Amino acid sequence: MSESDGLLIHLEGIRKIFHTDEVETHALSDINLDIHKGEFVTIAGPSGCGKSTLLSILGLLDSPTEGSYWLNGDSVASLNSSERARLRNRKIGFIFQNFNLIGDLNVYENIELPLTYAGIQSKDRKRRVEESLQKVEMVHRLKHYPSQLSGGQQQRVAVARALVANPLIVLADEPTGNLDSANGQAVMNLLQELHKDGSTLCMVTHDPRYAQSAQRTIHLFDGQIVDGDREIAR
């Protein structure tokens, strides 16, 4: 699988089946998807359609039951759990609906943590954290703890943490879900600015307003892509 054409993610024939108490649930069926470097893609659809399952597979948090996944030209199917964790830490940034900040760590420490896991030297960690904080306009809050921040501010910190390792792609799972409309729009404006600066973004959302912020929307229904190539009119 070549990356020369800018292809960052290639999914082919992805299926995900969950087994519980003799019940077989087909969460994803025959998913074929390409995401190119520099794209901003949203995954939309009703609750239970497989959006978060697909994002978990893209983020190497889960494995498909069947199918192939290439990331930046390399197949990830044969990677063991530690290899997947290492690749996830270095190449993929995550933004979650509930922020997932560590309450005992201040803003600086929360953003620095992925770099510590990656073995980055202290001087380089400091530079990267400060650059990430500047991008989200939160430098003045670096010593504050999550409990001292509003929801919108916590999500900005979460965005900075997702960006700090310079990932190949940022995956956002309902990043506005716990925010009021004003803060939700502020976070979307921030994501759009990051995209303009060259970041590759893939966001799950159930809100059609925010889906229209992206270049392209992948529509899921009952675990299948029903309209994957529709360009959003601007």
More confident residue, 120 or 213: 120
- What is the number of other CB atoms lying within 10 angstroms of the CB of residue 105? 14
Average pLDDT over residues 198-220: 90
Would you state the pLDDT for residue 212? 84
Average pLDDT over residues 146-169: 94
Closest C-alpha among 224, 200, 226 to residue 214: 200
Residue 84's pLDDT band (boundaries 50, 70, 90)? Answer: very high
Q: What is the pLDDT of the chain when averaged over all its residues?
A: 90
Would you state the pLDDT for residue 164? 93
Average pLDDT over residues 131-144: 94
The answer, yes or no, to whether residue 231 has pLDDT greater than 70, is no
pTM score of the predicted model: 0.89
Residue 14 — left, alpha, or beta (φ > 0 → left; ψ -120 to 50 → alpha)?
A: beta
Spell out the domains of the chain, with CATH numbers in brackets: 38-61+79-227 (3.40.50.300)
Average pLDDT over residues 87-113: 94
* Dist. CA 114–CA 117, nearest whole Å: 5
Closest C-alpha among 170, 154, 228 to residue 203: 170
